Amino acid sequence: VVSTSIGAEGLHASAGLHLLVADTLADFAASVSRLLEESELRTQLASAGRVLYEQCYTWDAAWRRLDGEKFLAV
């Protein structure tokens, strides 16, 4: 995922770990190009993003929060 800072606000995601953050057109294009060129980075971000999604943004995660559990540290 490539997002702007505003687009990533409120997510429990970390730039460089779960996604790339770019706030200008040139930086956004460069980040997308980088992901197209670097399969290892693409795989790393995808894996970490999937773990974050499963821990924080699924129905099971929502039920855990309702039951008083906190977000898991990622």
Q: Could you report the per-residue pLDDT of 3-20, keeping only the tens digit for each?
A: 999 999 999 999 999 999
pLDDT of residue 14: 96
Q: Per-residue pLDDT for 59 more than 70?
A: yes
Residue 74 confidence (pLDDT) above 80: no
Question: What is d(CA 16, CA 24) in angstroms, rounded to the nearest whole number?
Answer: 17
Give percent above pLDDT 90 in the chain: 78
Collapse the DSSP code of 22 into the 3-class scheme (helix H, G, I; strand E, B; otherwise coil) and give the result.
coil
The structure tokens 């953050």 sit at 21
- Using a cut of 0.85, tell me whether the model's pTM lies above it: no
Reply yes or no on whether the pLDDT at 34 is more than 70: yes
